[in-house]
Amino acid sequence: MRDDLRRIGIIDIGSNSIRLVIYDTTPEGGYKIIKECKYSARLSEKITKDGRLERRDMDSIVPVLHQFKEICSEFEVDNIRAGATAAIRNAANSTEIVACLSEASEIHIEVISGHQEAYFGFLGVINAFDVQDGFVIDIGGGSTEITLFRGRRYQQSISFPFGAVNTNLMFGHHGNWNSDQVRKLQAYVTGRLVEHDWLNSGPGLPLYGLGGTLRSLGKLDQKLRDYSLPNSHGYTLSGETIDKFMETLPSIPYEKRKDLDGLSKSRGISSSPA
């Protein structure tokens, strides 16, 4: 092992899941994934009508953070960075949540802004793909970020306060959808998109998708096509395929949808037809 490697642990407290990824990094910016862990927390579903996360729900996260911290210790991690995204960022008692979790877990937790979340997604794409221009869309549980880049440089981004989990709560019924609910959801999303003219500035540009929902669609398509490589990273979904999923998935009852081969059971309910 190189003497100049630095091992870091990244904890992502998302709206749908909490993840730990441990990396070995080099001074030149190279990295290698050493360990990955995931816990399905579904925080967006636990936000009350007045926008708060109750103390009992905060407490339910603490054992997960303790476990992740122990894993980091076992892997001799040099530094832990923990960030909270939309569910906590948009909560009415966001400051209280972060203080509670940071104190109980003894891990410093930062709230990641929508702009930061979009920018981090952009950095991930340009470091993973040899591409000059395009859009990045990151569909999380409680927010969706869209970023435009040209010449491998960040141009603009927007963070919308809707994602795969909270749109189910807003428009669906326990993961089930009828045609009227689908129309209302699509009208809501379209209404927010048309407010930003720059989203129409790059017709034909490639679209790079991030997040568990898009990853699940990729895995589902791989299963349907009997794709040989069990890895959705870099997998291409055609516009026709996405249209097909938008048309067929909402009509499948949740109890059947969650058992679809390739679709994670924890994602079955969060396949919004947006």
Strand ranges for 66-177 from DSSP E: 79-84, 109-111, 134-139, 144-150, 153-160
Tell me the CATH number of domain 114-270, given options 3.60.21.10, 3.30.420.150, 3.40.50.1370, 1.10.4100.10. 3.30.420.150
Domain boundaries, the chain: 6-111, 114-270
pLDDT at 265: 56
Cα–Cα distance between 271 and 252 in angstroms, integer? 11
76-85, 168-177, 262-271: lowest mean pLDDT where?
A: 262-271
Cα–Cα distance between 165 and 4 in angstroms, integer? 41
SS3 250: helix
pLDDT digits (tens, 9 = 90+) for 138-150: 999 899 999 999 9
Q: Around Cβ 96, how many Cβ atoms within 10 Å?
A: 14
Percent of the chain surpassing pLDDT 90: 75
Say which CATH architecture domain 6-111 belongs to: 2-Layer Sandwich (3.30)
Task: Give the mean pLDDT of 147-171.
Answer: 95
pLDDT digits (tens, 9 = 90+) for 176-230: 999 999 999 999 999 999 999 999 998 999 999 998 889 989 999 998 888 887 7
Closest listed residue to residue 46, CA positions, set 38, 58, 36, 30: 58
Cα–Cα distance between 41 and 266 in angstroms, integer? 10
What is the chain's length?
274
Closest listed residue to residue 68, CA positions, set 32, 41, 28: 41
What confidence tier does 173 reach under pLDDT thresholds 50, 70, 90?
confident
What confidence tier does 260 reach under pLDDT thresholds 50, 70, 90?
confident
pLDDT score of 116 more than 90: yes
Unique residue bearing structure tokens 């972060």? 98
Cα–Cα distance between 262 and 247 in angstroms, integer? 18
Equal CATH topology for 6-111 and 114-270: yes
Closest listed residue to residue 9, CA positions, set 36, 39, 40: 36
